[in-house]
Structure 1
């Protein structure tokens, strides 16, 4: 019986988010590298200037041979590539660098309270609040689905977004099915 309820919950979430997925897709944004991300940097025909795993430190820098500290956080992989190529021109005639994000560890969100699996989750794609609840295994029987709070930090300011799950599911207010951003915290009382 419990498995059937969970399957029904997952199907309902999919059906409810399908219109949003089909009609309200925003254009993809360039990924910004963050603290904790793991990068692979390959310099063509220069194995001494290639690294399989470089972690972006808490200060936003990476350590790279002969260049010392290079600021990576807040840049796209293409911007970082250009910075490394410019720095390597002193040592390599025509450096061709590729920067790949191997693990986007800096992009996480959190779910607390009355969900089956509280915790930290990777933000590996565009997710909505309903999809986040699915990742967390759904609600416990004590969850207050009308008083969910999403805390979002944007440019140093804390924003509170109130979510009424029942209004979303009943089709009354799909605008509450907001897209999750990095470092969002969802609290289900």
Structure 2
């Protein structure tokens, strides 16, 4: 019985010792130790005054971002009249005399409404097909038919009120709902500006559904870099969805407060601002040579880049201020060697004290 208690106490002590030794998170600080990481596709970049210009602004594409296939633009853009549109049709028979539907009073205000069959009535001509046609096509048709009644008729056709065509905006916008399509082409940015863009919407993954096909559009690429393909013209029946921003955050670990920090869509945040927001590094436990930013980039699809800052030098504070964060960055502050030694000794001493207490109990039995 006594031997069983002894073996159980010793085993429990060993478990405690191993648990204490394995509880530390760290990343190598020295160049020699970091060289061995290349085989794991881990690229360590020591940020200095010589290379900060290359890494100041992240060349970042989220690994969750979808490949884009923006819809094509009609050339030229032409508005097609539809049921519900109100037209102004004006006909001049000579310079001094006008015949028109909608030339004065309430007729001008009301206009001619295209009915559900896509037609409207015009005196002497009768039913005129309007749906699916441009105002130029309607004008040419009316001009041709009115020649039977008017010598050299001069005809003008325009849309007084646009009611026939809409697109729909959904998702993370200020005012989701229908958007009226007019004879003035509206691009994706125009439509979303009217709906009200928010910081919570992911402009890099806007979905445009058109005639049963789904198109992923990176509107942020147009805003940031002028990629016109990513700002398509919105057509009648399009459904535009702005998804919530899921990747626009960074994380902090190690000898620093563990936090998840949301990033503003259009406001770059520097490493210095991140460190200040979480209260700075632990000045007793942290190794100021080992301030790391872990980032997965298109250049390291199976690994990641690690940017190292040595805050032993005051110059590094300026470098950290110039260094802008990218979505899903991980800021890690490693612990000081003395801290690791103290933690290890503490982990050993605590279970050893427990073993001595167990031994005294065993010996007393």
Fold similarity call, TM over 0.5: yes
1:131 match: secondary structure: helix
Aligned residue among 171, 177, 191 for 1:113: 171
Q: Aligned pair in 2 of structure 1 residues 69, 181: CA closer, same or farther (>3 Å)?
A: same
Q: What is aligned with 1:160? A: 214
Q: Is the radius of gyration larger for structure 1 or structure 2?
A: 2
CA contact 1:109–1:122 (8 Å) conserved in 2: yes
Work out the CA distance in 2 between the residues paired with 1:54 and 1:184.
Answer: 27
Q: What is aligned with 2:87? A: 39
Could you say which structure has the greater relative contact order, defined with CA pairs below 8 angstroms and 6 or more residues apart?
2
Q: What is aligned with 2:241? A: 187
CA contact 1:116–1:140 (8 Å) conserved in 2: no
* Cα displacement string for residues 127-181 of structure 1 (whole angstroms, at most 9, x for unaligned residues): 322232211111363x44454311112xxxx221012445554539653222212
Q: How many angstroms does 1:28 deviate by?
A: 5.0
Unaligned runs of 5+ in 1: 1-24
Does 1:132 pair with 2:191? yes
Aligned residue among 67, 72, 75 for 2:133: 75
Q: How many angstroms does 1:82 deviate by?
A: 2.3
Q: How many angstroms does 1:41 deviate by?
A: 0.8
When the two chains are superposed, the root-mean-square deviation of aligned CA atoms in Å is 2.9
Does 1:50 pair with 2:101? yes
Superposed, which structure 2 residues align to 1:93-104 within 5 Å?
Answer: 93-104=151-162
Q: Aligned pair in 2 of structure 1 residues 104, 87: CA closer, same or farther (>3 Å)?
A: same
Work out the CA distance in 2 between the residues paired with 1:181 and 1:40.
Answer: 23
Work out the CA distance in 2 between the residues paired with 1:26 and 1:151.
Answer: 16
Work out the CA distance in 1 between the residues paired with 2:158 and 2:226.
Answer: 42
May I ask how many residue pairs the two structures share in their alignment?
159
What is the TM-score when the length of structure 1 is the normalising length?
Answer: 0.69
